Amino acid sequence: MVKPDGVQRGLIGEVIKRIEGRGLKIVSLRMNTISPDSAKEHYAEHAQKPFFNSLISFITSGPSVSMVVEGKNAIAVLRAINGATNPINAATGSIRGDLALDTGRNIVHASDSPESAKREISIHFKESEISDYSRIDETWIYE
């Protein structure tokens, strides 16, 4: 997901470029302003944390871009592309390492496990909105 700060800063294309450039495949994409109920469901694991209300307020403050991304080791690769949650600790070359300064405005979100991905995808997309296709360059990406 490109969060509202990334959208407002004009970084959607940069994020997509890094995802696709690495060889991952975007199979669904949507820009919308997430409803408070969907945001609370998406971030349910943080409900008891002190930053929960400000997180919900931020993520619903404007449009974000939700994506379903596939590829070999997609979760680990995407989290590496994003960089550490705290941009100060994010590696140079990662989205957060190159483009962010603050944990509360760190541009992107990625699921941390297959279970989280399945749950989060179901919040943002209907199954019929996810495309099943092969990229023509997959034979050059995977052995």
User: What amino acid positions are annotated as catalytic residues?
Assistant: 109
Q: Are 41 and 87 in contact (CB under 8 A)?
A: no
Find the angle CA(35)-CA(55)-CA(79) to the nearest 5 degrees.
100
The whole-angstrom distance between residue 18's C-alpha and the CA centroid of its chain comes to: 12
Q: In 33-138, where do the E strands start and end?
A: 64-70
Q: Are 68 and 26 in contact (CB under 8 A)?
A: yes
Find the angle CA(126)-CA(45)-CA(102) to the nearest 5 degrees.
95
| Residue at 58: amino acid letter | F
